[in-house]
Amino acid sequence: MKKTPVLRVMVLTLLFYLPVLAQDTDVCMQDLSIFAEFAKVKNYKSAFQPWMKVRTSCPSINAAVYSYGERILKDLIKNGTPEEVASAKEDIIKLYGEWIEYFPKRRNKSIIGDVISKKAQALLDFKIGTLKEVYNTFDMAYQKDPTSFTNPKLLYNYFKTYFDLYKAGDQEVTMESLFEQYEEVSEKFDIESTALAKKLDIILKKEESGTALSTKETRNKRVYNINSNAIGTYLRNLDAIIVKEATCENLIPLYQKNFDANKGDVIWLKRAASRMDSKECSDDPLFVTLVEALHALDPSADSAYYLGLLNDKRGNSKEALKYYEESIILEEDNYKKAKILMKISNKFEIAGRKASARNYANKALGYQPSLGRAYLLIARLYAESANQCGDSQFNKRAVYWLAEKTARKAGKVDASLKKIVTQTINSYGGRAPSKTDIFTEGNEGTTISFNCWIKRSIVVPSL
């Protein structure tokens, strides 16, 4: 009987509260609309007050509170008074935490890794906290949600902060853990690069078929190229900061010391063999030990490729080719096939076997049309053959037109190579016959065939 008055009070309170709650929500929706309209036209100063009202009163009403809030605070950091800047720097860190609390997903997919990595970058940019705290925040993003942690700059800084801790003498960061971290992050770059390549290749194949792209496809192609360029830039930066540490002098004794403890670990063996191969340490007996252990434990495309490499170094060309082909057959993923084929192509280029190098580069393009590096390799092979392919001085130099034409294809399919493609075509174009040479020869519009290994032809340009 005593519960009745209490229940009556609760009902009356609820009846009173619901209209108030509805009023608050209506006000928040109005302010949400106001600040969103200001933010859309980049009038962030006018957006600030209504945005702050919504953020304070209705933090879970809409994800725009955080996506636009980030822009509003960044603008304040850029254009505010010293006091406003200092306050906004602290507040944006707080905002990222609120974002995760209220909207950890977008379109039913987690964005935790993306948001926490932004928080880490803000800590780094604004010099808030220690380097260790910045790294730990990046690491939290990667460990909790690597799928949405995709920003190339932030991935680079994830490793860079770890590298800086190593250089500062942090006892918890060993050379071995540094290499492991490098492999982890570079593999993540590879995953993101492949994902972009798959999207871009669909568009490239449509273009090659002669079908016009839709407005959306044209826009997507531009976005994919921009993102691909960013990945290529930051991956090169990543390689640049590790290059002085990842030498044969450091790698060999490190892997020798840790081999017994890791000889049953497929991932460790693959990474160790890959690193020694990329750093040209494969002449050391340890490389043989790593490859044999890897192949015995997990016969795969990787181990078969390395066995091919070993036989190549021993002069067993036929046996090497057998393992190379086995490697391609064992690999099921087309984009990984393309990477293996490019590795083989590079080895043949180094060995001076130009026709084989071009053959494998073309095979790689068959699996990944956006693999611009394959076109650059073929262009390089042509340019290196100028003196051997032509029955006159003019025709020898005409090879550079073919090299230039091939290099241009690299730029069309891979925006990340734009700088090197520009340098390459300028170099080859400068070595090709000039307009004066064409006028003197009187061969404008004629076809020149190269009967050496190239087995291709080029039409002399019009004056």
Residues 31 and 48: beta-carbon distance below 8 Å: no
Q: Name residue 136's amino acid.
A: N
Residue 111 has pLDDT above 60, yes or no: yes
**pLDDT score at 5:** 56
* DSSP category for residue 387: G
Amino acid at 463: L
Average pLDDT over residues 20-49: 88
Question: For the chain, what is the radius of gyration of the CA atoms?
Answer: 29
Sign of the CA dihedral 141, 227, 230, 246?
Answer: positive
Task: Output the CA torsion 256→262→265→267 (10° steps).
Answer: -50
Phi/psi of residue 457, each to 5°?
A: -135, 165
pTM for the full model? 0.84
Q: How far apart are CA 124 and CA 121, in angstroms?
A: 5
- What is residue 309's three-state secondary structure? helix
Q: Distance between CA 66 and CA 55 in Å, rounded? A: 8
What secondary structure does DSSP assign to 404-440, as a single string? HHHHHHHHHH-GGGHHHHHHHHHHHHHHS--HHHHHH
What distance, in Å, lies between the first and last C-alpha atoms of the chain?
Answer: 106
Q: Tell which residue, 270, 195, 182, has the closest CA to residue 231.
A: 195
Decide if 166 contacts 173 (C-beta within 8 A). Answer: yes
Question: Within its chain, how far is the Cα of 248 from the centroid?
Answer: 26
Give the model's pLDDT for residue 312.
87
Contact indicator for 382, 403 with CB cutoff of 8 Å:
yes
Residues 323/308, Cβ–Cβ less than 8 Å: yes
| 325-338 residue pLDDT tens | 999 999 999 999 99
Helix (H, G, I), strand (E, B) or coil at 380: helix
pLDDT tens per residue, range 223-244: 999 998 899 899 999 999 999 8
Strand partners, 287: none
- Give the chain's length: 463
Do residues 100 and 114 make contact, with C-beta atoms less than 8 angstroms apart?
A: no
Tens-place pLDDT, residues 52-100: 999 999 999 999 999 999 999 999 999 999 999 999 999 999 999 999 9
